[in-house]
Amino acid sequence: MWYFAWILGLTAAVLLAIVNAVYGENHELREEESRQSDKS
Q: State the pLDDT at residue 18.
A: 98
Domain ranges of the chain: 1-40
Three-state DSSP at 29 gives helix
Query: What does the alpha-carbon distance between residue 8 and residue 33 come to, in Å, rounded to a whole number?
Result: 38
- The per-residue pLDDT string of the chain (40 residues; one tens digit each, 9 = 90 and over) reads 999 999 999 999 999 999 999 999 898 888 878 888 776 5
Q: State the pLDDT at residue 40.
A: 58
pTM above 0.75, yes or no: no
Query: What does the alpha-carbon distance between residue 14 and residue 7 come to, in Å, rounded to a whole number?
Result: 11
Distance of CA 40 to the CA centre of its chain: 30
Query: What does the alpha-carbon distance between residue 27 and residue 18 come to, in Å, rounded to a whole number?
Result: 14
